Amino acid sequence: MVTCSGVECSAVARDFVTEAGTFRVLRGVDFQAMPGKLTMLVGPSGCGKTTLISIIAGLLSASEGTVHVFGEELTALRSDQLLEFRLHRIGFVFQQYRCGEYGGSTGGGGLGLAESLEDSFGHAWRSWLGGSCR
């Protein structure tokens, strides 16, 4: 049962099928992200973070389990419904972005609005509040 209007995954599994066989990359994952709360998904390389995020975003389907996002049960949606869901409810910020380098509508590329942040892990983060992206 869904207890939040954010993200709730229950017993999610994901299999990838290759010529070499079927590989289960997620096994029984339970995950919840509450609205208005910062939630970080951390883990070592190859543990399934990107796969889980792709399932939550509706880019991949779960092989087992249920996924509720903003009150929608993604595991019950058809591909055309998932497309509409992503179009109206999901936004993406990619790790390899190109924002602010070439000037936006103001010509400054938003660089004056950029704020450098550093998280508790010592990674440099940049928050872009304007500018152009390519």
Query: pLDDT averaged over consecutive 10-residue blocks of the chain (134 residues)?
Result: 76 95 94 89 89 93 95 93 91 64 46 38 39 37
pLDDT for 5 equals 77
Question: Measuring CA to CA, which residue among 42, 64, 52, 44 is closest to residue 7?
Answer: 52
pLDDT for 131 equals 37
- 95: burial class by Cβ within 10 Å (0-12, 13-18, 19+)? exposed
* Residue 91 CB neighbour total at 10 angstroms: 6
CATH topology of domain 7-89: Rossmann fold (3.40.50)
Which phi and psi angles does 54 have, rounded to 5°? -65, -35
pLDDT for 132 equals 37
Rounded-to-integer distance, Cα 98 and Cα 121, Å: 23
Q: Could you tell me the strand order of the sheet in which 21-33 lies?
A: 21-33, 7-18, 64-69, 72-73
Domain residues of the chain, as ranges? 7-89, 94-134
